[in-house]
Amino acid sequence: MQAEVRTRMLRAGLLSGLALAAAPAHAFIAYVSNEKGNTVSVIDTESWTVTKTIKVGQRPRGIEFTRDGKFVMVAVGDDDTIQVIDAKTQSVVDSLPSGPDPELFAQDAAGKILYVANENDNTVTVIDLEKRARLGDIQVGVEPEGMTISPDGKTLINTSETTNMAHFIDTSSRQIVANVLVDARPRFAEFRHDSSELWVSSEIGGTVSVIDPRKHEVIGKVTFEIPGLRREAIQPVGIGMTRDDKTAFIALGPANRIAVVDTATRKVTKYLLVGQRVWHMAFTPDEKYLLTTNGVSNDVSVIDVAAQKVIKTIQVGELPWGITIAP
Amino acid sequence: MMFRIVTIAAVALAVAGTAARAADQRYPDWPCTQAKVPEISLAAVWAGPPLDDVQNKWKDNEKVAALVAKLSARKTPLDEAEKSVKEFLAGSAADKAANAKLLFAGLFDTLNAQRSQVMNGLERVSRKQREAADKIREEAVQLQALQGATPRDEAKVEALSNDLIWKTRIFEDRHKVVRFVCEVPTAIDQRLFALGRVIQQEME
């Protein structure tokens, strides 16, 4: 009798455990900018389908949710502005005063200030997000591109494509305090969550530089090698780092792969074939999935982060570029 | 009338000028704004097992050869092609891995060859266009001379004008076709990648 009860309890426990495991993951909403299609695709992460396609301005690239999750900002470079999409109505409701040809932007931790890289006039525009007004400009190198803010909010990083530098900008004085030379055409910058390192990808150099943000020195480099692929086909762009800072995912452009990197050894542990010209990426907030934009195959790949496997492909608009997921 | 002819010639010459400029010095005849990638490398589209042992063998397998022909045809819609891949591999039972490799080897050879053909054709047309542009330029100069001559030979002016109109029209039409065909190599890349991805997923 007792044994039977125990078995029953055990079975019930197992069943509930199974039920938990089988329960659908929390649904999130991802927004993808389609550079050539001049649209933004909205993806539901429960059904993994495109639920809406929003018409936006010309050449949408950088895209990010506001910190409160209420709006999505998208840089429409050829219209020289940043459009604001209301996440509730999923339509464009406003625009922000950037400089000419905005490409990427970063916001401070509080979500009050936005820093925009304007590719055409070598400046970073500072915008007050509440007033939606321009506060000023910072002169940087030629063709500013990558943008990120240190976790403490004190340092803004901007990379310039032609000058091949990562500029360290003090956010309170809005002055450049240091320049670090990296490999050719730096594209994207990402801090470790513990602030100990800044990673900068170089599209033409084919490397990711690891920078000590206090000493402003390159302390290591991540390199890539894929048998059968020419070196110039390996073009690192987007970088994503898990919250525990143990694993980095790096998009390799026309190599059509994501490199999985052990941040301790700075070595690639695995390459995942995703889609053609993989560019940027975003984690779901629970960090179960990583979504990548694949420009030439016009789709988004879904990677199971724990299993390090591609589990799904979703067709989106023409030339998907950036991606952001609701917080 | 005369004004129109001169305008047409000028437009054609402007177009010819842009068509003649190659973005990549290595490929002076390449007429497209898209970068020329002479060949798709296997590693860019395939992360599965090596294909060394199946190279060329796909042609000996009738079923695979027929399927390769069907899937490579651009008239076969991509979703239909992907479905055919899945059905074929689902019905392959124990031979699944071997068949998957054969099928991809076949697609890789065939689509790469198709792509080279299209690119060679584009370069051939681009050379012809350059010759045509030279001819139009030459005739436009001749026409101007004829128009300015006294006495003016109206019959000759008329004949040369008509000839110029035709040559310009052919040039412009061909230019439009080239721009359209420039999309084809990318479309083939996309097809090869998409089919390769389905095959690899089915192998897992």
For residue B170, being part of any structural domain is answered with yes
User: What band does B5 get if pLDDT is binned at 50, 70 and 90?
Assistant: low
Residue of chain B whose Cα is closest to the Cα of A298 = B190
For residue B20, being part of any structural domain is answered with no
The rounded distance, in Å, linking the Cα atoms of B180 and B175 is 9
Q: Which two tokens stand for residue B74?
A: 């651009």
Nearest-CA neighbor of A202 among A238, A237, A158, A153?
A237
CB B24 within 8 A of CB B35: yes
Interface residue B49 vs chain A (CB under 8 A): no
Planar angle of CA B139, B144, B148, nearest 5 degrees? 145
For residue B44, being part of any structural domain is answered with no
CB A42 within 8 A of CB A72: no
The rounded distance, in Å, linking the Cα atoms of A294 and A304 is 17
For residue B73, being part of any structural domain is answered with yes
Residue of chain A whose Cα is closest to the Cα of B188 = A297
Residues of B in contact with A256 (CB under 8 A): 44-45, 193
Nearest-CA neighbor of A81 among A60, A97, A94?
A97
For residue B49, being part of any structural domain is answered with no
How far apart are the two ends of chain A, measured CA to CA in Å?
Answer: 50
User: What digits encode the pLDDT tens for the residues A261-320?
Assistant: 999 999 999 999 999 999 999 999 999 999 999 999 999 999 999 999 999 999 999 999
Burial class (CB in 10 A: 0-12, 13-18, 19+), A316: buried
What pLDDT score was predicted for residue B92? Answer: 87
Residues found in chain B = 204
- The total of structural domains in chain B comes to 1
ipTM of predicted assembly, 2 dp = 0.77
For residue B160, being part of any structural domain is answered with yes
For residue B11, being part of any structural domain is answered with yes
- Structural domain harbouring B60: 2-15+54-203
Which residues are CB-neighbours of A280 under 8 A, at least 6 positions away? Answer: A188, A237, A238, A251, A292, A293, A321, A322, A323
User: What digits encode the pLDDT tens for the residues B106-144?
Assistant: 999 999 999 999 999 999 999 999 999 999 999 999 999
Interface residue B147 vs chain A (CB under 8 A): no
The rounded distance, in Å, linking the Cα atoms of A119 and A143 is 5
For residue B157, being part of any structural domain is answered with yes
Radius of gyration of chain A (CA): 21
What is the value of pTM for the model shown?
0.83
